[in-house]
Amino acid sequence: LLLIGQRSYWESDSIYRLEGLTEAQFATWLTALSVPHTAADAAHLHAYTAGNPRLAELCVALYRAGEGESFGAVLEQLPRFQALLPLWLRLERRLPATERQVLQVLSVFRSPAPADAWLGDGEQAAALEQLIARRLVQQDDQGGVTLLPALAEVVYAELPVETQEDLHGQAAEIRAERGEYTAAAFHLNAAGQPEAAVELWYPQRAQEINRGQAGAALSIFSQISQRRLAPGPRKQLLLLRSELHELVGEPARVIDDLQPAGWSGDDPATPEAMLRLGHALEAQGQPDAALDKYQAGLDTVTQLLRQGTQLHVQRSLTHLRQREMQQAWKEANLARFHAETMLGIVYDQRGDYETARSHYISALATAEDAGYQAGMAQSHHYLAMLAGRHGDMGEALPHFEQAIEFYERIGDRVNREYVRSNLASAYIQTGQFAEALAPAEQAMRFFEAMGNPFRTAQNASNLAEAHAELGNLEPAQQYAELVLAQEEPHSHPYALYTLGTVYKLRGDWERSLLSYDHSRKMAEANDDTYLLAFAWRALGEVYAASQEPAKAEAALAQALELFQRLNIPDEIRRTEQLM
C-alpha cells in the first residue's frame, strides 16, 4: 500500500522524502509543455516555488490564461496574482498558532532572516523547524531562513496594517541587534517610525556606505518626508540624503534638498551642509556659487581636515585620561593620517614628488593600522596620481585598482569615476594611449549624464590626446572641439595642445604652431608647469620641421629646464635627444 501526504500518520516500512525539482528539470518540463522560456525564466520559477511542482503548475496555468504575455512577464507579476490566496487560507487554518506567527513575521523580511532570532524560544524554534520540514520555509548556508517566495506576498497582504507595522518593528529590532542598520531602517520606516529610522541610521552611515548599502539606503530615505520629522532628525535626513545623492552623481537633488533649509552659523550641521552644497554646485559648473558656500572658512575642505585633526587629537587625549588606550591610539592615528595627507598635498603641489610620496605612504600605513578604509582608498588614489605624473605606471596601477575597488564596493560612483578619469590621465602621461581610451570613455559618459562640465572636459581632453597619439585624427579633433565647447577654461590649453598635435600630424605647420603657442600662453597664465614643458617641446619640434633652428633650440631649452625642474627623467632624455 502506497500512501502519499505531507506527513506520515502510521508507522511504515519505508518513508521516501521527495525533493523539489531543480532548475534543469524545470527547463526540461517547460520545454515538454511547449512553454517558451529562457534559462533566467527557469531560474526565476525555481526561486519562486522552491521546486514545488504544484506551484509550478499553477504558474504555467496563469501563463496560459494570460493575454499573450511572455512566461517571464507572468513570473514578474506573480506577487500581484491572488491565485495562491485560497491555498494560504486553507493552510493557515491547519497550522498551529506558533507556526502561523513565525510565518507572519518572516513575511515582512526582504532578505533571509537570521534563524537564531527564534532559536532562543523552545516553542518558536520547534515551530521554525517544522516549517522547514514542511518546505514552507527555506534555509541557506549562512544561517538565514526565508518564507517560500510564492507565499510571502500573500501572507503579508492578508495581515491587518497594524499587524504589519508591529511585525516590521520586531524585524527592525532583529536587524539592529545584528548591526544591519540599513535593513533595520527599512523596517522602522515600514513600521510607521521614520524618525527612528533616521536616528538609527545617521550615526552609522559611514559604516553602512562602506558595506555597499548606499543604494538601498537612498531608496528608503527618499520615501521619507522631512515634514514628518522634528527639527533635529529633519536635518539629519537632509544631510544623509544629500550624501547619498552625491555618491550616485545627482548634484541637482543635493541642491534641491539642502538649499531651502536654514543653516545658521551656530548649527553644528552647517559645515557639512555647506560642503555638500559646494560640491554639488561645482559639479554643475557653478564655481562662484560653490565658493560662496565654502566661505565659512575659505577652502572648507582644508578647514574640515584641520578640524578633524584637532577633534581626533582631543578625543585621543580624553580616551587617554580615561585609560581607554585602544581608542586613544585609534584617534591619534586618525589625526596623524589627516596631518600626513595634508603634508603630502602641500609637497605635491610644490612639485616635490619624493617628499609628497613619503607623506602619502605614511598616511596609507596609518590608515591601515587604524582600519580606516576610506582613508586607505584616498591614499591609494593620491599615490596613484603621483606615480602616474612621475611616469611610473607599474607603481600607479595597483593603487588605482585598489581605490576603484573600494569605491565600487561601497557604491560611491562619483569617486569611482574620479579615479577612473585620473587613471586615463596616467595612461596618457606614460604613453599608453590605447589603454587610456576605455576608462576615459566610461568616465566621460558618467560625467556628461551627471552634468559636470569640468570632468566631462577632462575626459574629453584625455580622449582627444589619446586618439591623436594613436593617429585617429578625426575623433581626436572632435573630442578637442568638445573640450573647447565646455565653459571650463582650465581644460582649454590641453585641448589646444591636442589640436596642435592633430595639425602637426597632418603637416599643417602653421595651424599647429598657432595651437601649440596658444596652449603655451594659457599654461603660463594658469601656472601649469607640467603642460608648459610639453608645449615648449612641441613648439620646438614644429620650429625644427619649419626650418627655424634658432627658435627650435630656444623652445627645446625652455622645455628641458622645466622637465629638469619637475624631475621627470624620461621626458628629460627625450627632450635632450631632440636638441
Residues near 479 by beta carbon (within 8 Å), at least 6 away in sequence: 460, 461, 463, 464, 467, 498
pLDDT at res. 344: 86
Cα–Cα distance measured from residue 76 to residue 74, given in angstroms and rounded to the nearest whole number: 5
Please say if the pLDDT value at position 300 is more than 50.
no
d(CA 465, CA 161): 61
Among 75-89, 222-236, 304-318, 346-360, which stretch is predicted with the lowest mean pLDDT? Answer: 304-318
Residue for cell digits 599654461?
523
* Chain mean pLDDT for the chain: 83
pLDDT tens profile 538-551: 999 999 998 899 99
Q: What is the reported pLDDT for 58? A: 67
Spell 499-526 as b/e; 16+ CB within 10 A means b: bbbbbbeeeebeebbbbbbbbbebbeee
pLDDT, greater one: 153 or 487 = 153
**Percent over 70 (pLDDT), the chain:** 86
3-class SS at 138?
strand
Residue 302, pLDDT above cutoff 70: no
Q: Which helix (H) or strand (E) holds 496?
A: helix 492-505
- More confident position, 21 or 91: 21
Q: What is the pLDDT of residue 16?
A: 66
Residue 443: the pLDDT is: 92
Strands in 137-139's sheet, in edge-to-edge order, are: 113-114, 144-147, 137-139
What is the three-class DSSP state of 137?
Answer: strand
Q: Residue 58's closest CA among 31, 22, 86, 27? A: 86
Q: Which parts of 114-204 fold into alpha helices (H)?
A: 116-119, 122-133, 149-157, 161-177, 181-190, 194-201
Query: Quick one: pLDDT at residue 29?
Result: 85
Examine the pLDDT at 66 and tell me if it is beyond 70. Answer: no
Reported as a single tens digit per residue, the pLDDT across 480-527 is 988 888 777 778 888 899 899 999 988 999 999 999 999 999 988 888
> Could you tell me which residue, 406 or 58, shows the higher pLDDT?
406
Q: Is the pLDDT of residue 298 over 50?
A: no
Residue written as grid cell 537632509: 238
* pLDDT greater than 90 at residue 301: no
Q: Is the pLDDT of residue 170 over 90?
A: yes
Q: What's the pLDDT tens digit per position in 111-132? A: 999 999 998 888 989 999 988 8
Whether residue 373 has pLDDT greater than 80: yes
DSSP string of 409-474?
Answer: HHT-HHHHHHHHHHHHHHHHHTT-HHHHHHHHHHHHHHHHHHT-HHHHHHHHHHHHHHHHHTT-HH
What's the pLDDT at 532? 92
Q: How many CB atoms lie within 10 A of CB 427?
A: 25
Q: How far apart are CA 366 and CA 337, in angstroms?
A: 6
Residues composing the chain? 579
Location of C-alpha cell 527564534: 118
Residue 474 has pLDDT above 50, yes or no: yes
* Residue tagged 581608542 (cell numbers): 327
Q: How does DSSP assign 388-420, residue by residue?
A: HHTT-HHHHHHHHHHHHHHHHHHT-HHHHHHHH
Q: pLDDT band for position 313 (50/70/90)?
A: low
Q: Whole-angstrom Cα distance, residue 579 to residue 552? A: 8
Is pLDDT at 274 greater than 80 in this prediction? yes
Of 160-169, 330-339, 554-563, minimum mean pLDDT range: 330-339
Mean pLDDT value of segment 67-85: 71
Q: Can you tell me the distance from the alpha carbon of 342 to that of 230, in angstroms, rounded to the nearest whole number? A: 38
Rg (CA), the chain: 31
The pTM (predicted TM-score) of the whole model is 0.60
Is the pLDDT confidence value at 303 over 60?
no
3-state SS, residue 338: helix
Are the CB atoms for 195 and 221 separated by under 8 Å? no
